[in-house]
Structure formats: structure tokens, C-alpha cells
Amino acid sequence: MSTDVRSRSRILGLDLLRAVAAWLVLLSHVAFWTGAGAEGVIGGLSVRGELGVAVFFALSAFLLSTPFVRRGLGASVPWSPRTYLLRRAARILPAYLLALLAVVVAAALLGGAAADALDVPTVLTHLVVGQGWTGETFQAFTQTWSLTTEVTFYLVLPLLAAALAPLTKGAGPASSARRMLAALGALGVAGLTVQCLAGLLPGAQLAGVVATSAPGHAAWFALGAAVTVVIEAERAGVPVSRRPGLEVLRTSPGTLVALAGVLWLIASTPIAGPRGLEPASVPSALAAEVLYGLVAVCLLLAATSRGLSDLLTDSPSAGFVEWLGNISYAVFLWHVLVLQVAFAVLDLELFAAPFALTLLLVTVVSVGLAHLSWSLLERPVLALAHRRTRAPGPQPAPRA
């Protein structure tokens, strides 16, 4: 990515990627609730839309590791724990708490399975975003296990960066970049090891909690940070590799997207485990982790490829792409609740509802709610947080 593109406050390729990731997660839940994911190629691809979570994790690591990577390459980058934590809280919590309130109200009104988890301990756990550690959540908020993992990553990242800094310091930027990639590779392998060990633990709930934790998905975060190292090394004039293959990938978003599609298709087969609630075997869980991570890194490389952001910025659709990125988080938060209410109001049968019409309905309503969430809550809160924590110099990473 050229320096001029990298210095902009927005990288529109990342906005587009956020939107794609959110819709993939929405797609997977619609496929599961309607029963469409149980059969056929389209069903398999749809239910594996859960790989959108891997995209989100890789994207978070890419954005938030930037100041630490730049420091590792020898640059002087201002970074404040207060600013970091306040901005992360402003990005995650307001929209999350609003959606949680709606989920609790809907559970109380709908009753039945929707209210199975409606008790004080569960609500309190959700208030501190701890549901990923307990495995207990509302039927309309099952996707938010990933927020526990995300918040854990936010807290661990600065500590991990500080711990690894002495180990990744090389004789020069190129040496430091290679050491950082080696360290991230080791973290990725550790994450895959945790995935394997999780499948051997007694009890499905404990195994699920460990598998979906930040250590369990360390490989996805490591891949995102590795892309940061590659791009920041380029920006510093010390690319980590002179091999033509990397150059081709950095300038070929179409090839990367096609490769991601092939990997997604492979992941839709039984190699990545069952499509329903049946527990996956250790080899299947490992295959899914690797395939989802590879899809995520391909899409992240495509979104940050040279020239793409210029193309999007100069296109008539630039404002639309930015809007899609802005509302993507709220789409992620609201779509399962929209599904639950739609099934209750329209009296749809679980695992036997029309897939295409349900997908269209949930997408439209979720986008509408997300637009309101962004316009009335998220944007004002983020603007306030950024005013209160305005940095003296250029920001070390695009605004997330």
C-alpha cells in the first residue's frame, strides 16, 4: 500500500471488508435457523459464513497492532493506554448495551426458548461482556461470544506487544520485521494447539469456551497482525520479501478474492466439520480454524492491496462503502434478534423456513436498525471519544 493511501484516516477497502464480514455472519445464522445450511452447496457455503468472525478478528489485529509494529520497525509512535481503552470502549459498548437491552426486552415479551437464559446472573454477565467465558447467552445474542474474545484481545494486545518487543528487536527494520513475523507464527501455532486441546477436554461447554477464547483463536489474530508487519515494512521501505509471489498478491485483489472463494468452498465440505450443532472432531475443528483464517487473510490482503483504496475513494460509491463499514457492527449485533422476532411474528418453523425470503427480510431490517444505531448513538459517542482523546500528531492506525 502506498504511503499516501496508508496515511488517510479511512481505508475504504477495510470498510467494505467489515460489511462483508458482518453479512457473512448474518448469512450463517439465517442458513442455520431456516435449515438451509443442512444440505446442498449453497447451504454449505451459507452456514460457513461464520468465517466472517475470523475476518473480524484478523481485521482488529491488523488495525490495533499498527502502532506496536511501527515502534518495532524503529518509528516513534505516540500511544496512550487511556486513549486506547476509551476509544475501544466507545466503539464496542454503547451499541452493544442498546442491543442487549432490546434482547432482554424481547426475551421477556416472547417467553419460551427466547427467555431460557433470562435471569439476573446471565444479564450481569452480559453487562461485562463475559458470556464467552461462561457459555451462557440469550437465543438472540449467541453471536456475541466473539465480543468476549475481542475484548480479551484488546486487553492482552498491549501487554503482549510489550513482552515481545525485546525479542523482536533486530539489527534493522528488515530484521525486526522478520522476527515479528516469526513471533506471530509461533503465536498462531500456539492457537492451533489450543484448538486441538480444546477438543480433548471433558464436557462440550468447557471445550467450546476454550475453543472460542482469544487463545483458541490466536491464529486469526496473528494473521491479521502479520499483514500489518508486511504493509508497515513496505511503508518503511524494507519489504520482508523480494519474491515475486508476494508482490503479485499485494497488487492482485481479484486473485486474492478468488482464492478466498475457493477456500470458502473447501470449508463448506465435511472437512471443516458438521453443519449443525453436532460437535466437530479435533481434525475438523483444526481444518476449520486454518481454512477460516486463510480466507480472512486473503480478504484482508485484498482490502489493503495497492490501488484498491484509491479506486474506491475516487468512485461514486465511496460514501456508500463508508456507510456500509459504519453500520457493520450494528448489523452484527442486531441480526439474530431480528431473526428471532421474525420467526415469532411470522410463525415460521425452525429449520423449515424459506431461506431466500428470510435472508432478504433479516438483511433489510438489520440494516435499517443498524443505520439508526450508527446515526443516533454510535457516531455521536465516537465523535465525543475522539475529541476527548485527540492525539498531538497523526493517528497510528485508521479509525476502527
Q: What is the secondary structure of 160-216 as a DSSP string?
A: HHHHHHHHH--SSHHHHHHHHHHHHHHHHHHHHHHHHHHTTSSSHHHHHHHHTSTTT
CA proximity to 313, closest of 301, 330, 325: 325
- The helix or strand, by DSSP H or E, that contains position 144, with its residue range, turns out to be none
> Regarding predicted confidence, which is higher, 313 or 290?
290
> Nine-digit cell at 248?
503479485
pLDDT of residue 395: 41
- Buried b vs exposed e over 127-164: b needs ≥16 C-beta within 10 Å? eebbbbbeebbbbbbebbbbbbbbbbbbeebbebbeeb
For the chain, what percent of residues have pLDDT higher than 90? Answer: 83
- Buried b vs exposed e over 291-312: b needs ≥16 C-beta within 10 Å? bbbbbbbbbbbbbbbbebbbeb
Residue 329 pLDDT > 90: yes
| Nearby residues of 253 by Cβ (< 8 Å), 6 or more positions away | 13, 301, 302, 303, 305, 308
Average pLDDT in the 345-349 region? Answer: 96
Q: Is the whole model's pTM more than 0.85, yes or no? A: yes
In the three-class reduction of DSSP (H, G, I as helix; E, B as strand; rest coil), residue 387 is classed as helix
| Nearby residues of 114 by Cβ (< 8 Å), 6 or more positions away | 106, 107, 138, 139, 140, 340, 344
pLDDT of residue 390: 66
Residue 102 pLDDT > 50: yes
Cell 496515511 belongs to which residue? 7
Residue 194 pLDDT > 50: yes
pLDDT tens digits, one per residue of 215-269: 999 999 999 999 999 999 988 888 887 777 777 778 889 999 999 999 999 999 9
pLDDT tens digits, one per residue of 289-309: 999 999 999 999 999 997 787
399 band by pLDDT with thresholds 50, 70 and 90: very low
